Amino acid sequence: MRREAILSAAASCFREHGYGVNLEVIAKRAGVGRATMQRNFADRETLALAVLSQEAEILKNNLDLSRPFYESLKVAVIQAMPTLAMYQHIAAELSRAETGRTALARLGDEVSAFLTPLVSAAKSRGEVSETISAHDFAIYMQMAASVLHVGMSDEEIDTNLDVAMRILTLGTQPR
């Protein structure tokens, strides 16, 4: 229960204040002491990676393989928008050290693994080229989400994402 409260508070704080948010702020928002937080997460890096891993799991659980591929991808990008924005800031900090780069690569492998069934289903329906990988679509999601930001209206999100996905999709369709 405390672990979940810490992860929820950390996700909110990372989104609001960035990766450098004071850990005391996270502990206070979670309703725990600093010692409890440190028992659950050794350091800021471990906490940030746990938040990102949890967010990836939520995204995985929301994927619908029965929908047309690009519809599924659009829904996933919209749902993941706040996480992808947070990821960019956390990744910039973590990639400065070898341990952070290694941990980010593992997280990328997790995301690629859960996108694999979605990409396989799309390939079998002829919606994407056989040369496209799940890793390609993890990057695609990041690129598509880059035209979005928190605070946009639903209409702005729809318009920007449709344009970005149309442009990106030109390189993913079978020839």
Span 130-165, pLDDT tens digits: 988 999 888 888 888 888 877 889 899 889 888 888
Q: Which fold has domain 44-169?
A: Tetracycline Repressor; domain 2 (1.10.357)
Q: Locate 2 and state its tokens.
A: 């405390």
1-41: in CATH 1.10.10: yes
pLDDT interval class at 172 (50, 70, 90): low
Indicate the domain borders of the chain: 1-41, 44-169
Judged against a pLDDT cut of 80, whether residue 169 lies above it is answered with no
Residue 24: the pLDDT is 92
Q: Which residues contact 132 (CB under 8 A, 6 or more apart)?
A: 119, 123, 172
If you average pLDDT over residues 101-119, what whole number do you get?
Answer: 90
Interval 40-69: pLDDT, tens: 999 999 999 999 999 889 988 988 888 898
